[in-house]
Each structure stands twice: as structure tokens, then as C-alpha cells.
Amino acid sequence: MILTEQAWLRPDGCKGIRNQLLVVYLVECAHHVAREIVFPFRHRGVQLAGFGGCYPNEYSFKMLRALCTHANVGAVLLVSLGCESFDRKHLREAIAASGRPVHTLVIQQTGGTRRTIAEGTAWVETTLAALAEVPRKTMRLDELIVGTVCGGSDATSGITANPGIGRAFDRLVAERATCIFEETGELIGCEQIMLKRAVNAELGEILRASVEKAAKYYTIMGHGSFAPGNAEGGLSTLEEKSMGAYCKSGDAPISGLIKPGDVPRGGGLYLLDVVPDGPPRFGFPNINDNAEIAELIACGSHLILFSTGRGSVVGSAISPVLKVCANPETYRNLSEDMDVDAGRILEGRGTLAEVGQEIFEHCLRVARGGATASEQLGHQEFVLTYKSFEPIGPACHPTYQ
């Protein structure tokens, strides 16, 4: 199926549904300067992302490399203080190797805040003119990557929005698109069900191990993926929340397991393992929903399906976030922030099949340039923290060995 005739073709061959210029700070000390550069262009496709830490971390480097070379990104401005430990040289080289325009500003060398902002603003203005000339290309549906995450879940999430997304995922996978679900910490109790959907037994054991790792990690931390807000919304246990979260994956076979920054090499359904490997070193696996959104985007997601029962207003830099609201009362209260009223199922105003079809059609609309509610409201949240992962092995991609 032809998705759009107007995808942006990148020099490395990938195709984007947005044409963003990304300004990236490489330490918190450069955050303000980067934000000031972005501000005048915030309605012109210029977005802000970055890493606040000073201590070097392989995960943060891999994440920023993947995000800066994402299909939706056409050019990158790196903003460094100068004395942080982040490897700005190799990040710039990786971006340049992808064929994207890239420029680095080092505040300590440029002459301080005002001069760096002025130089960065001038570079962005010039580069935006060049991005307007990026060639457009036909993009098929089987080239689309869609991620999903839930936030602010309540007792309605597993009944309406999550299974609705699962239906949309089944449609997308049937068209050979790539779909990614995650939250291994919210799949605890679903291991036996999930592994039966793996394309082979070895992958099934890998899927089970990823959930067991999450359970062990949370036990050590004394923290689980079950917040007071979930209980206030009517969820009784982590197992109940897990079953609801699991519904987002639909019914298609699971083709593989990936970790943040790994881009699937073909269509199908993939589980993203977001819980760090090894003993806990850096605290909670994800400090908020946007950390998970960033990881889904780093895995190539052109757009994100976000399920919420209690209500969330966040969007994201780089890829559009499409909100699917599970609770009809929440939808009425936050309608301007929502894209799909899945809660109408509970009131007899629609069926699960109809909601799944609507979500699927919204994916096509957004991929063809239609704005999500969060985009219209200017949401561009982003967060990147410290983590540690071991590389995946060939058994995690069994269909491509």
C-alpha cells in the first residue's frame, strides 16, 4: 500500500514523515543556550533534545546517535559547553556520515552565551532554507515504524484504548509495517502468554527472560511500575495493569526483541526491552513516560501511539505522538489533548473494531502530514537518562539470521 507520495528522502536512504531540524545539548550546562536557539523557530520544525549528564555513558551516546540520524530528522546542531565528557566528535562524525547537515558549537570556544546563541540562530536559519529543498519520495506502508506506550493507566485502559491499539497493530503488521511495544516492567505475569506468540522457541525464552529481568530489577530497587495514580484510577494489582498493557501488542506473532537504539530490520511485531542489563546502577529504569517515548523513537518509530486513562498531555521531539484516550470522562475533560476517544466503547457509542480502525486510519493521516493534538499544542517533551545495556544477539532477530 502506498502510504504517501510526500515522504522526505534522506541521503542515507531512509524516509521520514516529518522534516525536523534538531538542536541537541550535550550537557545540562548547554541546555539554556540550546533552548534559546530553538525558541524563535519552535513553530518551524526546529526541536530540542539532549543529554544532561556529564559522565560518559554508552547508552546515551547510542540513543543520541540514533535520534540524530532518525528518518524524521533532516539536520542537527550540536551545542556543547566544552568540558563535558560526552563524545561530541564521534557523534558529529556519525551524523555527517548519514549525509545530514551538522554543525557543532562549543560555548567555551565561541565566546559565551550571547555569541553562541547568535551563531546557532544564524546556522539554523540558513539550514532551514536548505531543508526546504529536501527531495520528496513515495513511501509504502511497509516502510512505516510505529511504537506504542501507555501512561496514566486506569481501570479502563485495558478494556478500550490498549486493545484498540492492539487491533490497529494487527492491521499494520498485516500490511508488513513494523510495530514496537515495550514496558517489560508492565508485562510481569504475562510471560507465559507472550512467549507462545514468539516466532520460535528460542525467542520465546528470550522474551520470558526480559520480563524476569524486569521483575528482579524492580525487586532490588523496591519499586514497581505501579503508581498511586493507577490505584486511584481503579487498577488493583500489577498483574491487572500488565494484562491491560499487554493488550497493546495485539495478536500478531512476535518477530524479535530489541533494545533502545536498535532499529528492526524488517516488518513485524517487536518487543522493546527497556530495563537495563546487570545490577541497578542508575536508578529507576524510566523516570517518566517521555523516557520510553524517546527509546521507541530511537528504534526508528516514525510515530507513537500513546494510550492514557487518567490523562496525559505530553508529546515528543522528533516523532508525533497520537493520544488514544481510554476513559470517556477523561476525554471530555481533556478533549483538546486527545486524538481518539476509545472510551466511547464503555458508553455504547462504538465498538472495539471501530476504535481499532479509527486508530489505524489516524496512523495513515499522521504519516501523510496530519498534525496530532500534541503537535498542534506545541508539545515537544524530551528526556534522556543514564542506563546500561548489553548488545542483542542474533537469536533476538530470528527471522533475519
Smallest CA-to-CA distance from 151 within 345, 344, 260, 292 is with 292
Could you tell me which residues come within 8 angstroms of residue 77 by beta carbon, excluding any fewer than 6 positions away?
21, 22, 23, 24, 34, 37, 102, 103, 104, 105, 120, 123, 124, 127
d(CA 28, CA 79): 10
Indicate the class that CATH gives domain 20-133: alpha beta
Which three-class secondary structure state does DSSP give residue 211? Answer: helix
Between strands 2-9 and 20-25, the pairing is: unpaired
Cell 494489582 identifies what position?
237
If one counts every other C-beta atom within 10 angstroms of the C-beta of residue 53, the result is: 18
Task: Tell me what pLDDT residue 401 has.
Answer: 57
Q: Is 110 helix (H, G, I), strand (E, B) or coil?
A: helix
Q: State how far the Cα of 120 lies from the Cα of 123, in Å rounded to an integer.
A: 5
pLDDT at residue number 240: 55
β-strand pairing of 15-16 with 2-9: antiparallel
Place of cell 498534525: 371
pLDDT at res. 224: 61
Q: Which residues contact 348 (CB under 8 A, 6 or more apart)?
A: none
Q: Rounded distance, CA 335 to CA 312, Å?
A: 11
Measured CA to CA, the distance from residue 170 to residue 237 in angstroms comes to 27
DSSP category for residue 77? E
Q: Which part of the chain has CATH 3.40.50.2300? A: 20-133
The predicted pLDDT at position 222 comes to 76
The distance in angstroms from the start CA to the end CA of the chain is 27
Report yes or no: 91 and 61 within 8 Å, Cβ to Cβ: yes
Nearest to 151 by CA among 399, 371, 325, 361: 325
Show the cell assigned to 93: 562524525
Per-residue confidence (pLDDT) for residue 82, from 0 to 100: 97
CB 384 within 8 A of CB 291: yes
Helices 58-68, 289-298: axis angle to 10 degrees equals: 60
User: Per-residue pLDDT for the chain (401 aa), expressed as one digit of tens each?
Assistant: 999 999 999 999 999 999 999 999 999 999 999 999 999 999 999 999 999 999 999 999 999 999 999 999 999 999 999 999 999 999 999 999 999 999 999 999 999 999 999 999 999 999 999 999 999 999 999 999 999 998 877 888 888 999 999 999 999 999 999 999 998 888 888 888 888 999 999 999 999 999 999 989 988 887 666 555 554 555 555 555 556 678 899 999 999 999 999 999 889 999 999 999 998 888 888 888 999 999 999 999 999 999 999 999 999 999 999 999 999 999 999 999 999 999 999 999 999 999 999 999 999 999 999 999 999 999 999 999 999 999 999 999 887 75
